[in-house]
Structure 1
Amino acid sequence: MSVSSPAASPDGEPARFTDLDPYTDLDPFTDLDPFTDLDYVPLPDELPAGQRWSTWDDIGILAGPDPWPDWLITADAAIDTDLGILKTGKEADVILVERATDTDAVIMAAKRYRTNDHRMFHRDSGYTEGRRIRRSRDRRAVAKGSRWGRQVEAGEWATAEFGYLSTLWSAGLPVPYPVQLDGTELLMEFITLADGSGAPRLAQTRPSAELLAEYLDQLRTAMCTMAAMGLTHGDLSAFNILATEERVVIIDVPQAVNIIGNPQGPEFLARDCRNVATWFTARGLEVDAETLLGEVIAYAW
């Protein structure tokens, strides 16, 4: 709307808004209402498909642990843009997301767990022994495998992974930083090589003997630290470990198991140790699974 040229005031100066009579001097169809429209700010145009305003400050969003990394963008004006699928899985898809402002940008990984529209979600129930869904109605729905139950289950796994990542990252373990949790979407650090490309899984690499030994030391330390916290990964293998130039990063932790609280905890820990020992031995670095298990489990008690 536009403001009509106001009549001159008695001293010959143009009338100010304070001089206007809103009942006589403004055309209600073409002019501003000085009591309501002067502070009006038009909403921005709707963003194209694949983009959204950053959800960082939205109500209900869980933010990652302090201290926030230097690369994290928390500005309200940031825009999140889907860049494409990085990985598809039975329970979740991982999509690359760019969060950008006029001056800064960062690429992150968004893990989006499948909800009740998908029937592929299946985690071994052994992982969840010792865990408890708060509401009895939700527990019954999960037990029955209803549509609502599958949606609850997806949200529980997303929440579990966010919680474990937050705990492990705060303890200094090599895991991606969990940026935020929004329902069944977990936004986290995108682990890259020095050139910015995505880090490969350990199973895809052929490290030198020296680097292989360094990777094993890092994994042993991480496993011992987790055991001291009462946890084991539960599904640790060369496919759930990323390898950068000089370090390994453990991923996919929603099924982490409480070694003591879960009756099958010791067996999950033993399996993690066997998987690690088998892979490193196959690459030429002899690792005894029982010896590794003895080293790790000593930290749990």
Structure 2
Amino acid sequence: MTPEQTSTPDLTPGRAHAHPSDAHPTDPQTDAPTDDPGPDRRFVIDFAAYDDVADGQRWSTWLQVEPLCRGPEPRPSWVVTSQGAIDTDLGVLKTGKEADVHLLERADPHDPEQSVVMAAKRYRSAEHRTFHRAAAYTEGRSTRRSRDERALNRKSTFGRQVAAGEWAVAEWNALVRCWELGVPVPYPVQIDGTEILQEWIHVEEAGERHTAPRLAQTRPDPELLGSYYEQTRQALHTLVGAGLVHGDLSPYNVLAAGDRLVVIDLPQVLDLVGNAAGFDFLHRDCSNMCAWFRRRGLDVDPEELFAELMASAF
């Protein structure tokens, strides 16, 4: 039997596949059933598909994206890699200036241990964003293709798609690099176009899980407040040591997951030296964070923190 005479199985995830031994030989000219076992026979294979997924669901996209679009190894044990998993949109978690964040469950219906809830950040096209100061952050960046570079400077549909994709890729790269550096950020699971799947930072209360509050919403006791500041300071040191600046760090871009802080919203991460305003952004990050800690009663000096970071950078 030659390859041309054999029907190709459908390997779409979630479909049941017939085995060649269950097929019926047919006449190659008429497709009529035949008992001839000769070399020219071919198979007609019927495939029984599972029910289609419901509205708000899709098959897992884990294996559809390129390996470099998946999170760094070693991966946390909770990452679901099953080909038979289904993604279910659980609704909007929050809206932002350039993207919306949804909660998304990825679960294999045949393996209860393969189930996790993640945050899905989906970037909007340029005309639907309310963030208009992108140029200050993107100075020093370049796209990989000259066509994309030209498109960014035009008000075309393709240009708007490129712009949305560039911000998603910028945040993905920042998340991966920060995770590998040890900066407390959500684990980046995967990127697919303008959608980033990442760890859902949550807390448990009365047996239920809730999204961790922003630092700005918390009222920590003096001991925890001091711990939060030290974590902030260490995160800034790690970033600056790698030549990076968050660029928009504030109590609204930091989550308080119990006694630990997690930095979020990193699409504007920039090069401390490559961006002409890098030092200004770093100074602003220090001022924003120290102002909140001072309002909570901790005696910290933004100028002292900035000088300390500058000294460690060179």
TM-score, normalised to structure 2, is 0.83
1:223 to 1:206, Cα distance in 2 relative to 1, 3 A: same
In 2: Cα distance, 1:200 partner to 1:143 partner: 38
Q: 5+ unaligned residues in a row in structure 2: which ranges? A: 1-20, 34-40
1:282 corresponds to 2:295? yes
Correspondence for 1:118 among 128, 136, 144 = 128
Q: Is the 8 A contact 1:121 1:154 kept in 2?
A: no
Amino acid paired to 1:238? P
CA contact (8 A) 1:64 1:166 kept: yes
Shift of 1:59: 4.2
Cα separation, partners in 2 of 1:119 and 1:224, compared to 1, 3 Å: closer
Return the offset for 1:232: 1.0
Within 2, Cα distance between the matches of 1:106 and 1:267? 39
- 8 Å Cα contact 1:116/1:147 also seen in 2: no
What is the Cα-based RMSD across aligned positions, in Å? 2.4
* TM superposition score normalised by structure 1: 0.86
Residue number in structure 2 paired with 1:162:
172
**What's the CA shift for 1:264?**
0.6
Partner of 1:202: 215
Residue pair 2:126, 2:163 contacting (<8 A) in 1 also: no
Q: How does 1:262-301 map to 2 (within 5 A)?
A: 262-301=275-314
Matches within 5 A, 1:137-286: 137-195=147-205, 196-286=209-299
Percent identical among aligned pairs is 52
Deviation at 1:97, TM superposition (A): 0.1
Name which one, 1 or 2, has greater alpha-carbon Rg. 1
AA aligned opposite 1:271 = R
SS at match of 1:52: strand
Deviation for aligned residue 1:241: 0.1
Q: Distance in 1 between matches of 2:134 and 2:166?
A: 14
Larger strand share, 1 or 2: 2
CA distances 1:122-167 after superposition (whole Å, capped 9, x unpaired): 3431111110122223222212333322211110110011111011
Q: 2:184·2:235 contact (CA, 8 Å) conserved in 1?
A: yes
Counting matched residue pairs gives 279
Structure 1 residue ranges, 4+ long, deviating more than 6 angstroms after superposition? none
Greater shift in the superposed pair: 92-101 or 138-147: 138-147
CA contact (8 A) 2:58 2:88 kept: yes
Query: What displacement does 1:116 show?
Result: 5.5
